[in-house]
Structure 1
Amino acid sequence: MKNNPELDIEKPSEDADVLLQFLDRASQVFVKKLENNDRDWSYDQTKHQNGVYIPHAQRDSGFFPTLTLKEREDGKTNEIWEAYFLTYWPQFEKGYRKSRLVNYRSKSEETHLTRIPKSAFSELLPASFLLIGCIQLADETVFECLTLDSASEETALLSDIFNLDPDFKVGIFRPEEKKSEETARIMDFAEEVISAWEDGAIARFAAENSVMPTSYEIAFRARQVFMKRHGLVNISPFSMDSPGDALREISRKIEWGIFREFQRRERSVELIRIVMGDEPIKIRTSDIIRKLIDELPAIDALMLSASQQRKSRAGYSYEHHIEAMLGDGKVPFEKQVILASKKRPDFILPSLEFIDSKKEGSETGLILSAKTTLRERWKQVEREMEGRRLFLTTVDENIASNTIEDMASFGVHLVIPESLRKSKETEYEGHENVLSFREFCDETLTPNLKTWIKTGSSH
């Protein structure tokens, strides 16, 4: 990553309408979470890869034009298979360009999409996305292309629409099929809502069936699902090979699914009550249309609150899971202790009194801060240190290398899921201040646990 992403925090993100309109136009959409090599060619001249790697399963799926053997007169024997087609990059340039899908057989099945704009990739954070939509214009097929920065609202929307797993790498989707799947998921519930409204019981139905549980309750449910799925009695980090990956699965996959179902129900009922009211009445289509227009500000507020609800939930839930993991592992800690600076670090291990006591072993104490996503927020935890050791744990994929180096300069250690340590989509590898949650447990918690327990600290 050649630039500092923190300089762009005021830059407005791409309008979600651009993504939604793109998905409406495309009959099929190729989606790839970009690896580092898919981005760094655009700004690092020392890199050998040119363009974006296209796995051969998607290359040969029928989505892309079929490769043909290039005729060569240079006497070289290595075969080159290629296909040229029109691409359109509306975020970065006007007009079409002729892009190339090329496979040098000397490199086996390795295939790259080349002759594409560098500007589409040069500013992206790790784990960003490339979307290619197959769009029919008159008698010609055009491939419209978008890139979505991993820190943008559009990436969250994309993941929501296609229900992308945190471990998603690449796939081809039909937007219409995804819409049908979403409709099918809510139809049974819709019938219940209609019945309740017709019976004049929509308010009671809402209270009993569509009230969003607290973040603590949803987090608890997610851990129960995880433990049952993996045959565990608790989530002690010492009883799992990959406790960081467990945190990622619980918070980013299981809990998100639970939350999404509750939010779908809650928003559906609220929308009905805004438009139709609580009492059953005979209503014409024209009246519904007028009501929709008249209540547009309330509907907008409902959609906005849904977005804000998603953001606030994520932060609190991750803290809940860290607290449960420390508790199950019998690790002594204090939570949300007020420091002299008026800051409230998430966790102090084993206690603030122990760290500040200047007694033998007190230097082993630490501050553990939990952030689902970082962006520029890591500087907030830096102000919590006050000379103490600070470890920052996250499940975020999109931290740029220069940001990790900035953290190191302040003495901040980054604790991440095991699967992200050497992932091709992240920039964590090669940084001494980055360690997996397993390494954090083995190298930091375990050697000091007996000392901490002897202090009598508890939570």
Structure 2
Amino acid sequence: MSGQGDLDLKIRMRASETTADGTPLWWKIQSLVSSSKELFVKKLSRNDTSWADDTRKHQAGFYIPRQVRDKGFFPDLVANNPDKPHIFHAELSVLWPQTGEVTLSGMRHYSNKGPETHFTRLPHGLFRDLTPASLLISGKLSSPISDCRYWIVVLDSAAEEAELLETVLDIRSDFHFGLFPPSLFIEASRLQQDEKQELIERLQHAIRNGTLEMVVGEYGELPQPHVIAKEARDQWLHANGLDRFDPWIIANPGDAIMEISRDIEYTLYRQYELRRRSAELVAILTGKGDLVTAVVNHFPDIDRVLLSASQQRKTRAGRSFEHHISASLGAGRVRFVEQAVTGGRRPDFVMPDLETLNSRNRSACEALVLAAKTTLRERWKQVSSEKLNCEVFLATVDDRVAATSIDEMAEFGITLIVPESLKFSSETDYRPLSNVISFREFFDTEVKRNRPNLLT
């Protein structure tokens, strides 16, 4: 979870959408959060949004999980029609800041059909053409605004605001829905507060005692990516009572890789990053006159530090994913070479080796190429240009890939590999598509069954 200063910087640099009155959307969300008693966040499934893209569907709206309905966030449902005692309902006024609309929305629970409650009468446009795994955030207001007790915002998962929300609420890779206190928007967790306070006190002590240069030197270099990756894997292995990252022992190796790279390692990296970048900035500003003068005169140096942090963060994410795949292949005794140059190309993984890949006397199915990209967007086309004499697989932990892009990958002969929970999730487009397989399927079918020569 990020601190407020970090969030404010991101807001200025990255917020992209505005509300009906021209206010940046993230600013509006922050304002509404500060006036709310509780927050409800949900990762939208295809059932929550498909009605907006298909005019033939008459049932418009998203679903409220039973666990949230029973916690009292929304109004209590009542069944007051003697002829239809199985129908429980409620009405509520809702503010939609993105469009400026106020709706008298409805909640319907058909107790004879299932546990979920349908939320209806809402702006269709907000739910149209959303990227998979988009987010909905709603607040229960302390005092009414325009006679509304609730507000709702829909964030496309490809937008910057969705990433901000995931950061500030510390939303993990396995998140589906939850209720949150508004204080999380402005307060870090107690553990992080303690860590930050310890860092603050150490830097202050170093300034007073003239040892700032020594502290900056101590924090000067982040651990190498493979070192942080191994630290994160070791944490995961310890928590799960395992001694090696073996895909034949781990039931869902893709989910494990996703949790380690997107959650555990990211947290570790931000801890190391906070120490280094804070020390760098303090060193730039200390002893340079008053704060305003120091910031203005040394802005190029500050900008360099922030740019370096951003670039290093992006590079780390990609390499992290590759490190964990490599560790999984190695622990599973799968033959492979990394970053091998072939025909001017450098695939992430060639299995089993270049000799087999380039041999004209062997069946092409004996070898395969595996590319790894944490997020796809249009970057998968870099893989499609790498025409190789074998099957090409592309591994990712991205839950936002649309069916149209996956179909296009199929035309280029690319099979997508995703974590097991994402393959079968109702929040992604992966489940029905034949050219999307899970990591479990990759190891069991593509390696063990179809290419036993890959195993030692």
3-state secondary structure, aligned to 1:235: coil
Equivalent of 2:224 in 208, 214, 235: 214
Hey, what does 2:154 align to over in structure 1? 147
Indicate which of 416, 422, 444 corresponds to 1:414. Answer: 416
After superposition, the Cα gap between the structure-2 partners of 1:318 and 1:309, relative to the gap in structure 1 and judged at 3 Å, is same
Partner of 2:29 in structure 1? 22
Q: Does 1:308 align with 2:318?
A: no
Alignment of 1:127 with 2:137, yes or no, is no
Contact 2:399 2:422 in 1 (8 A): yes
Indicate how the Cα distance of structure 1 residues 408 and 172 shifts in structure 2: closer, same or farther if over 3 A, else same. Answer: same
Cα displacement string for residues 45-104 of structure 1 (whole angstroms, at most 9, x for unaligned residues): 45465311111332243332333445x5xx73234333333323233x234222222223
Q: Is the 2:48–2:62 contact (alpha carbons within 8 Å) kept by the matching residues of 1? A: yes
Q: Following superposition of structure 1 onto structure 2, how do residues 100-249 of structure 1 map, counting pairs within 5 Å?
A: 100-135=106-141, 136-137=143-144, 140-177=147-184, 179-182=186-189, 183-209=193-219, 211-249=221-259
Shift of 1:318: 0.6
Give aligned pairs, total: 432
Q: CA deviation at 1:393?
A: 0.9
More moved, 405-414 vs 175-184 = 175-184
Q: What is the Cα deviation at residue 301 of structure 1?
A: 5.4
Q: Amino acid of the residue matched to residue 102 of structure 2?
A: Y
Q: Is the 8 A contact 1:212 1:266 kept in 2?
A: yes
Once the two structures are TM-superposed, the CA of residue 20 in structure 1 deviates from its matched residue by 4.4
Q: How does 1:396-407 map to 2 (within 5 A)?
A: 396-407=398-409
Whole-Å separation in 1 of the counterparts to 2:428 and 2:368: 26
AA aligned to 1:429 is R
Question: How far, CA to CA, are the matches of 2:246 and 2:115 in structure 1?
Answer: 43
Correspondent of 1:52 among 54, 62, 65: 62
CA distance in 2, matches of 1:404, 1:138: 43
Q: 3-state SS of the aligned residue for 1:31?
A: strand
Q: Deviations over 1:174-221 (max 9, x none)?
A: 232453334444222222222122222222112224632222221121
Tell whether the 8 Å contact from 1:37 to 1:49 is kept in structure 2 after alignment: no
The one of 332, 336, 347 equivalent to 2:335 is 332
> Which residue is equivalent to 2:3?
none
Q: Which of residues 55, 77, 85 in structure 1 aligns to 2:84?
A: 77
Matches of 2:294 and 2:183, distance apart in 1: 28
Residue 248 of structure 2: SS of its match in structure 1?
helix
* Counterpart contact for 1:349–1:367, Cα < 8 Å: yes
Partner SS for 2:107: strand
Deviations 1:222-253 (A, max 9, x none): 11212222232321222222111111121112
Return the offset for 1:133: 2.4
8 Å Cα contact 1:88-1:145 kept in structure 2: yes
Residues 361 and 451 in structure 1, CA contact (< 8 A), matched pair in contact too: no
Equivalent residues of 2:49, 2:62 under 8 A apart? yes
Structure 1 match to 2:371: 369
For the residues of structure 2 that align with 1:130 and 1:187, how far apart are their CA atoms?
33
Q: Aligned-pair RMSD on alpha carbons? A: 2.8
Q: Measure the CA separation in 1 of the matches of 2:299 and 2:179.
A: 35
1-structure distance, mates of 2:194, 2:43: 27
Deviates more, 1:179-188 or 1:323-332: 179-188
Larger deviation, residues 385-394 vs 134-143:
134-143
Asked whether the 8 Å contact 2:219–2:279 carries over to 1, the reply is no
Deviation at 1:299, TM superposition (A): 4.8
Distance 1:294 1:22, change over 3 A: farther
Which stretch of structure 1 is more off in the superposition, 309-318 or 262-271? 262-271
Tell me how far apart the structure 1 counterparts of residues 231 and 24 of structure 2 sit (CA, whole Å): 34
Tell me if 1:432 matches 2:438: no
1:329–1:260 Cα change, 3 Å: same
Residue pairs, 1:255-274, within 5 angstroms: 255-274=265-284
Shift of 1:130: 0.4
TM-fit CA distance, 1:328: 1.8
Q: Structure 2: how far apart are the matches of 1:21 and 1:323? A: 43
CA distance in 1, matches of 2:237, 2:172: 19
- Asked if structure 1 preserves the Cα contact closer than 8 Å seen for 2:16 and 2:24, the reply is no
Change (3 A) 1:199 1:132: same
Classify 1:293/1:55 alpha carbon distance in 2 versus 1 (closer, same or farther; 3 Å).
farther
Structure 2: gaps of 5 or more residues: 1-14
Deviates more, 1:441-450 or 1:216-225: 441-450
Q: Secondary structure at the match of 2:53?
A: coil
1:296 deviation in Å? 5.7
CA distance in 2, matches of 1:139, 1:41: 28
